[in-house]
Amino acid sequence: MAGLEGMEQPRPRSDPAAAGWGIPGPDDGTAPAPGAPLFAALDLVGDPALGEVRLPSRPQSAGIARRLTAAVLLNQWSLTPQLAEHAVLLVSELVGNAVRHTGARTFGLRMLRRRGWIRVEVRDPSRGLPCLMPVQAMDTSGRGLFLVDKLSDRWGVDLLPRGKTTWFEMRIADR
């Protein structure tokens, strides 16, 4: 389900001066040692499950956001690898949109869990709304929101006084 949902809630801000934005990993050619825990990203940047994590608006941040998402979903919340794989892909798409289309210096990543659901949010200072476009078989770009629409259970945009939060939600099986 797509649409605007007025669900934005006040949130604590994380330290914008978080050190170590250049987390080593497979996306930048400096893969961590075998068996290195995914949650090393959480130690360096912050935990998006505890509060918004600010990242620089540059292409390398998509890899950092993917590792943070995987760390929370797999290590902290013990969710299924398939759900984590889908969420990591969708995070990458939302971060890519924030980096490419907003002109911002930074963006925020936050993850929430409630009974039966996870919610992932990417916040940026632009009030320009993302647009779900029809996708053709030979298209080489413009598939991001199409994937978000197909792989998530719900997604939307909350307009803020200074920017917006683009989010998606996925159902989970609580144990």
Query: What is the predicted pLDDT for the residue at 146?
Result: 86
List beta partners, residue 26.
none
* 55 falls within a domain: yes
Tell me: pLDDT of 87 over 80.
yes
Place of tokens 């797999």: 74
Tell me: pLDDT of 10 over 50.
no
- Find the domain containing 118 and state its range: 47-171
* 136 falls within a domain: yes
Lowest mean pLDDT among 33-37, 62-66, 139-143: 33-37
Lowest mean pLDDT among 31-40, 117-126, 150-159: 31-40
* 148 falls within a domain: yes
Query: What is the predicted pLDDT for the residue at 175?
Result: 62
Tell me: pLDDT of 172 over 90.
yes
Residue 32's nearest CA partner among 54, 64, 58 is 64
* 30 falls within a domain: no
Tell me: pLDDT of 19 over 80.
no
Query: What is the predicted pLDDT for the residue at 133?
Result: 75
- Mean predicted lDDT score pLDDT of the chain: 79
* 67 falls within a domain: yes
Mean pLDDT of 31-46: 60
* Number of domains into which the chain is organized: 1
Tell me: pLDDT of 44 over 60.
yes
* 149 falls within a domain: yes
**What is the crossing angle of helices 81-101 and 60-70, to 10°?**
150
Instruction: Supply the CATH number for residue 69's domain.
Output: 3.30.565.10
* 85 falls within a domain: yes
The conformational region for residue 84 under phi > 0 = left, psi -120 to 50 = alpha, else beta, is alpha
Strand order of the sheet with strand 53-56? Answer: 2-4, 154-160, 163-171, 117-124, 106-114, 53-56
- Residue 90 dihedral angles phi and psi, to the nearest 5°: -70, -35
pTM value surpassing 0.85? no
* 37 falls within a domain: no
